[in-house]
Amino acid sequence: MSELRDLTERLVSIPSHEDETPAGDEIEAWLRDHTDADVRRDDVGNVRAWRGRELSGESLAFVGHHDVVPPDDSQVAESGEFVVEERDGRLYGRGTADMKGAVAAMLLAFRDVEPGRPLGFASFVGEETGGRGARHAVEDGFDPDWAVVGEGSTGYSAAGVLDVAVAHKGRRASTLTAAGESAHASEPEAGENAVYRAADAVDVVRDLEAPTADVLGESVSGSVAVTEIEGGTAWNVIPDECAVTVDERTVPGERADLGRVEELPGVSWTVDQDLPPMACSSDALADRALSAVRTVQDGGGEHVAKPHATDAGWLADAGVACVVCGPAEPGEAHTETESVSLSVLARCREAYERLAA
């Protein structure tokens, strides 16, 4: 346990919200010092490594990311390093849960297991800002048959229980732009009110049905909602433009039919971000991952679905069978009191080893 705690603490202490390079340097150096793996650093800063490429069977990769969201002031020491504290069996600090704790557990499992199949490790950059590292890795030929992504899957079936997520939602962010014609507000009929057109578009969104999906017995429900509206320049001017922001949580398969808004006069639709959902495409991977988890915690653990997008979406979109299995609990990441359970971290490490072997 001390080695896992110390490695997690070292990775967490390295700031990686503005520049992931120092954290990537640490991971790359550790792999070169502690394993005989084929290690490479790609053009965007991802750290990737392989062992046992000559072995038969489905290749398996442990996948994490070493960027983090900006810290709270309380999470930064005077030296500039991030504060890491251990209390009551947990490590506190920015990135402990999301997700340098899982990266540390994966590194140790990658080193210690005698792989029964080609075994990879990858820690990506840019996960928190749209999956830049994962997308580059896929384009650069990173294509394991199976991947375990170490994002949070703890506490879904019961408090403190490590689960295996076989699906998660994606996120599509859109802007609906309504164009009109300005006029003086004393003569509204002389113009075309863009806010009224935007209101018609909002009504279309309100009536859309968000799709649902079933993945290995787990139900995943999407959603679609207007979250922002902006238009107009003055109280006495008929607005000639109005923008509406739409947040859509997508599921594997169909999408909500947002294109219907473009049937309205003067309304256009732009997709600003589209993070893909994930559905595990391999019953064998899902079952073996759950078996490994149950072995390390006396039969506990279930297949579950996550509400949040992860890099597993990009990998699954490229044809990689994925599960999500990691120590973070719902509501823990991105908070000023972010922390991770050391006992769950240890279970993750053992489960990763069992699956790889």
Distance (Å, rounded) from C-alpha 248 to C-alpha 173? 6
Distance (Å, rounded) from C-alpha 79 to C-alpha 98? 22
- DSSP states along 275-317: EPPEE---HHHHHHHHHHHHHHTTT---EEEESS--HHHHHHH
Contact 357, 62 (CB under 8 A): no
The residues, ordered by sequence, that sit 6+ positions from 22 with a Cβ below 8 Å of its Cβ are: 14, 15, 16
Q: How far is CA 31 from CA 26, 70, 113, 125, in A?
A: 9, 26, 14, 17
**Cis amide linkage into residue 99, ω under 30° from 0:** yes
Tell me which residues are annotated as active site. Answer: 67, 128
Question: What number of other Cβ atoms are within 10 A of residue 80's Cβ?
Answer: 7
Question: Looking at the DSSP assignment, which residues form a beta bridge with residue 322?
Answer: 147
Distance (Å, rounded) from C-alpha 148 to C-alpha 121? 10
Structure-block tokens of residue 335: 């908070």
Residue 134's nearest CA partner among 218, 212, 46 is: 46
Contact 304, 191 (CB under 8 A): no
Distance (Å, rounded) from C-alpha 119 to C-alpha 221? 33
By three-state DSSP, how is residue 246 classified? strand
Distance (Å, rounded) from C-alpha 147 to C-alpha 152? 15
Residue 342's nearest CA partner among 89, 12, 160 is: 89
